[in-house]
């Protein structure tokens, strides 16, 4: 009984903002007489969803897989670099700022080169997703690993803590909350990376649908695909949010 009440509450939280947006959307289109070729009505979008359901679903799934794989690769690479920088601080001193400065390169500028270098469409999309996802994960994880207060460092020093053991037993679990913050930020970034790659050089994926439907003025389909891309990001975000709650159980304790 109580659970179903919570469920109703949860649905209300989702449905009411959606309804508000849809109603406002319809009002604005009518009030400003916006051409349906530019901005379709919510009903047109719904119809586009219905008639293109299979292709929207399969292409969304493809983009989801690409961005998720990219995210995992980014996680592994960030982890390895953070570990190397931790065990060899001299490398961190020289290379940390170089690694971070790569973040300044806009993904849109990098995308054509990556697509050109990597012949496989699928792989180039995964790589671009990984590049965009890498920085938030790397920076937040690196900060988490290095954030111990002075007294704790003194304690570790006095009990003769070794670099390796301190990393595995203290710094790594300590950095998990920061790592998840990075993963959650990257979960939407990686979708963006994959979609940018699909704009530039691909014949499938949700980004390709957005691009081609715009080309043919199928605005209903364009909007449906845009909504799908949002949902992909939301699903990835929710996966990490769920894992975070499970793994970082101590935050909820009182």
Q: Nearer Cβ to another protein, position 176 or 231?
A: 176
Q: Nearer Cβ to another protein, position 148 or 231?
A: 148
Q: Nearer Cβ to another protein, position 47 or 146?
A: 146
- Closest CB 150 distance from another protein, rounded Å: 8
Q: Which residues are within 8 A (CB) of 23 and not within 5 positions of it... i.e. 6 or more apart?
A: none
Listing DSSP states for 205-222 in one string gives: SHHHHHHHHHHTT-HHHH
Q: Name the DSSP letter for residue 33.
A: T
Q: Which two tokens stand for residue 9?
A: 């509450």
Residue 156: count other Cβ atoms within 10 Å of its Cβ: 17
- Closest CB 148 distance from another protein, rounded Å: 7
Q: Nearer Cβ to another protein, position 227 or 247?
A: 247
Q: Nearer Cβ to another protein, position 4 or 160?
A: 160
- Closest CB 140 distance from another protein, rounded Å: 17
Q: Nearer Cβ to another protein, position 178 or 218?
A: 178
- Dihedral over alpha carbons 36, 62, 234, 230 (to 10 degrees): -20
- Closest CB 77 distance from another protein, rounded Å: 25
Q: Residue 249 to residues 33, 36, 155: CA-CA distances in angstroms?
A: 52, 49, 25
Place of tokens 């699928």: 122
Q: Nearer Cβ to another protein, position 54 or 250?
A: 250
- Closest CB 170 distance from another protein, rounded Å: 6
The Cα 179–Cα 14 span in angstroms is 28
Q: Residue 114 to residues 36, 91, 109, 121, 206: CA-CA distances in angstroms?
A: 36, 27, 10, 10, 19
- For residue 50, give the H/E element and its range: helix 42-51
- Closest CB 246 distance from another protein, rounded Å: 13
- Closest CB 83 distance from another protein, rounded Å: 17
List residues binding another protein (CB under 8 A): 148-149, 151-152, 154-162, 165-166, 169-170, 173-174, 176, 248, 250-251, 253-254
């Amino acid at each position: 009984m109580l659970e179903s009440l919570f469920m109703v509450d949860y649905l209300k939280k989702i449905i009411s903002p959606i309804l508000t947006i849809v109603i406002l959307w319809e009002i604005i289109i009518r009030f400003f007489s916006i051409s349906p070729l530019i901005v379709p009505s919510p009903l047109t979008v719904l119809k586009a969803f219905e008639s293109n359901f299979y292709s929207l679903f399969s292409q969304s799934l493809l983009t989801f897989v690409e961005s998720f794989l990219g995210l995992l690769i980014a996680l592994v690479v960030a982890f390895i670099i953070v570990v190397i920088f931790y065990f060899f601080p001299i490398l961190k001193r020289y290379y940390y700022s170089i690694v971070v400065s790569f973040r300044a390169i806009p993904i849109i500028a990098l995308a054509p080169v990556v697509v050109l270098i990597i012949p496989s469409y699928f792989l180039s999309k995964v790589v671009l997703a990984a590049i965009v996802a890498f920085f938030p994960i790397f920076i937040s994880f690196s900060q988490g690993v290095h954030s111990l207060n002075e007294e704790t460092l003194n304690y570790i020093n006095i009990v003769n803590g070794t670099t390796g053991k301190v990393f595995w037993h203290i710094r790594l679990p300590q950095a998990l909350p920061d790592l998840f913050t990075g993963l959650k930020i990257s979960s939407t970034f990686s979708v963006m990376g994959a979609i940018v790659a699909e704009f530039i050089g691909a014949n499938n994926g949700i980004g390709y649908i957005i691009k081609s439907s715009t080309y043919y003025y199928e605005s209903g389909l364009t909007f449906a695909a845009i909504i799908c891309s949002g949902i992909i990001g939301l699903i990835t975000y929710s996966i990490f949010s769920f894992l975070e709650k499970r793994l970082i159980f101590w935050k909820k304790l009182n």
